Amino acid sequence: MRKRIAAGNWKMNLTATQAQSLTSELVQIAKDEYTGQGLVILAPPAPYLPLVHHLIKDARNFFLSAQNMHQEESGAYTGETSASMLTSVGATYTILGHSERREYFGEDEALLAAKTNKALAHGLKPIFCVGESLSEREAEQTLEVVKKQLSGGLFHLSAEQFAEVVVAYEPVWAIGTGRTASPEQAQEVHQYLRTLITDHYGSAVAQETSILYGGSVKADNAREIFLQPDIDGGLVGGASLKSRDFAEIIKALG
């Protein structure tokens, strides 16, 4: 049975004091109000990873994720963070291939494949993002784009390695733009991704792969989105910065 997941990507937001308050509030609300088996993954900015880990380490079904990592083991890479550094402060997941990393930092499939290899070698589970831009959707290239991203970044893995990966579909045109993909539009792409995984790794692996939706998931639309048969939760941006909103998204996992 595949995992239901609410992952909060805080991006470059919050002070340390705000991060502490948000995490503490989430842990308490989840303890009081959520009895389901869904996983909660928090991805704070790198400086706050030890702080957040300390606050969630004894909380049921809470896990820590990095927002990115470097593909090399160590070395003269000023400002970068290695997989071993992340695991040493309690991270068990790392986001890879987020649209902002692809767009602003030029990350391509070859680089992301290398990052994925390094993450898995250190026991980090990648949350691997794919998704199309507005121009690509309008040109009806959505399925072609996500196939290229998924296969180029992940399909070199063995079935055993791939089983450690969480996939996230984020339509770039629906992030922070006020535009929202309908649950049916999201489901169409999720179903296609699962079909690609089935074709490459077989049905058993595909049916165990969690595929998250990352297109402006909010407290008021999460339940409808998560009811779609191939959507296993959300990779949440802005709404994860508000404890009550994110708590409602967690509860929508069921």
Per the residue annotation, which of 98, 122, 132, 190 is the catalytic one? 98
Given the residues 100, 109, 132, 170, select the one marked as catalytic: 170
Measured torsion, CA atoms of residues 154, 160, 165, 171, in degrees rounded to the nearest 10: 40
Q: Identify whether 190 is a catalytic site residue.
A: no
DSSP E strands in the chain: the ranges are 5-9, 39-43, 62-66, 93-96, 125-130, 166-169, 211-213, 233-236
Residue 59 has which token pair? Answer: 């909380």
What span, in angstroms and rounded, lies between the C-alpha atoms of 61 and 111? Answer: 31
Residue type, 2: R
Q: Which residues pair with 122 in a beta bridge?
A: none
Active site residue 98: yes
Take residue 114 and report the two structure tokens written for it.
């290398």
The torsion angles phi and psi of 146, rounded to 5 degrees, stand at -70, -30
Cα angle value 223/226/230 (rounded, 5°)? 165
* Exposed e or buried b per residue across 174-198, where buried means at least 16 C-beta atoms within 10 angstroms of its C-beta: bbeeeebbebeebbbbbebbbebbe
Work out the number of other CB atoms within 10 angstroms of the CB of residue 103. Answer: 11
Active site residues: 98, 170
